[in-house]
Amino acid sequence: MNGIKYIREKSNITQYWLAERMGVTRQTVTQWEKGVRKPNKEHLKWLCEFYGIEEKWFGELSDVELDVLNEMIMYEHFEEDKEYYTFIPRVDGWNEIRFKCGDVDKMTDDKYTDLLKEEKQFIKNVENYLFDKHSQYCNFDKITTLKRKMAGINDYLFLMDVIEKIGDEGSFLKVPFRYEVKTIFFATLIASGIYSYDKVNEIYKLDSFNDGYQPSEKDRWLFDPEYMRELAEVMSKHWNKKKNAEIAAKEARKRKSKK
C-alpha cells in the first residue's frame, strides 16, 4: 500500500489540492502514488511537517505498518471552505474532531456528494408520498390528506428551525434538544405499536455508530431509554382510553339504531 495515497485519501485531500500546495503537478503526485517516482527530500520534509508524522509513512507500507497507522489519531482542520485532516491537533479548537485514521472509509467530500444525492431522493420520496399514496381517494379526501401531511412536515421543519436557533446559543443546548425531539418521535411509534421498544433501541445504537460515536452510560442526555419507555406508556394509556371510549360510543349508537 502506498503511504502517500493512503494518507491523502484519509485526510480528505485531492491530488490537485496537494499538488498545488507542494508546488508540483497533479501528474507528479500520481507518479508518487503509483511508485513510478519518489518524492525528493524537500517534498518529503513538506509532507512530514504538513501531516505531522515521520518520513517512513510515505513509502510502501506493509500490513503491519498499515495496522499501526490506522490506530493513529487524525484531527480536523479548515482552510477557507476546505475541510481536511492531519495527525496534528488544532491549536485553536476546544471542540476539535478526532478519530482513528483507519475509521475513515471514504473521503469527506465524496460522502458530502452522496448525501446531497440522498437529500434529493428524500425530497422526491416526500413528493411521491404526498401526491401518489392517496390517489385512490376522491378530490376532497386528497386535498384534506395533503393538507394534513404537509402540516405534519411543516411542524417537523419548524422544530428543526427551533433547534438551529437553540444552536446559536451553544451546541451544548442544540444537541440535547435534538435528541429530546427524536425521543418523543420514537416514543410515539412505540405507543402506536408500529415499533417495538427493542427495535427503537437498536436504531439508536446504529444511528450513533454511523455518526462515528457510540454513547456511554453517562450520555443519558443523548438517549434516555427509560424516559422514552415511560413516555410511550403514558401516550399508550391516553390513546387506549380514547380508543375504548370511541368503541363504546360506536356500540351505543348501534344499539340505539336497533331499537
pLDDT at 145: 67
Q: What is the pLDDT along the chain (259 residues), one digit of tens a residue?
A: 999 999 999 998 999 999 999 999 999 999 999 999 999 999 999 999 999 999 999 999 999 999 999 999 999 888 877 889 999 988 765 557 788 888 877 666 677 777 778 778 877 776 676 665 555 555 556 667 667 777 777 777 777 777 677 666 666 666 677 777 788 888 888 888 888 888 887 776 655 444 444 555 545 556 677 888 888 999 888 888 888 888 888 888 888 787 6
Give CA–CA dist 223/7, Å, rounded: 35
